Amino acid sequence: MFRVKKNLKSQIKLKKSKFLGFNFYIESKEDIDKQLDILKAEFKDASHLVYAYRLKEQGVLKEKFFNDKEPANSAGQPLLYLLQKKEILNCLLVVVRYFGGVKLGVGGLIRAYTQVAQEVLVNNLEKD
């Protein structure tokens, strides 16, 4: 299993949409709620605030994703899959999207959300 070394931010633009990626080391559901509240306040004008997390707390693994009105399986689920595939625990991935007026389709959304999330994780993992 792996964990993130530090909290990072990334950004990509695709067909006029802007995607901001964030990762956070978390130890509790309260940590998750706190980070989400901060981001929701900071980016209240964003079109979507998508997230996924894997949290091992008191020996129990908790996983969750949220699509924030993006099409099914196009946003939060790819973030969770990335955490699972890379065996990352105690991490919250968040992607904020500003819609640029051009629809990307489900495939385009999956690629964009995955890419911006991967950028905050590259060279940022350590063995737990």
CATH of residue 70: 3.30.230.30
- Domain range for 65: 2-127
The mean per-residue pLDDT over the stretch 25-52 comes to 97
DSSP of 65-97: EE-TTSPTTSSHHHHHHHHHHTTB-SEEEEEEE
What confidence tier does 29 reach under pLDDT thresholds 50, 70, 90?
Answer: very high
Q: What are phi and psi of 8, to 5 degrees?
A: -130, 170
125 neighbors 3 (Cβ within 8 angstroms): yes
Identity of the residue numbered 112: A
Q: Determine the pLDDT at residue 81.
A: 97
Residue with tokens 């904020």: 96
Total tally of structural domains belonging to the chain? 1
Cα dihedral 103, 106, 108, 110 sign = positive
Cβ atoms of 19 and 95 within 8 Å: the answer is yes
Residue 128 in this model has a pLDDT that exceeds 90: no
50-104 per-position pLDDT tens digit: 999 999 999 999 999 999 999 999 999 999 999 999 999 999 999 999 999 989 9
- pLDDT (average), residues 38-61: 96
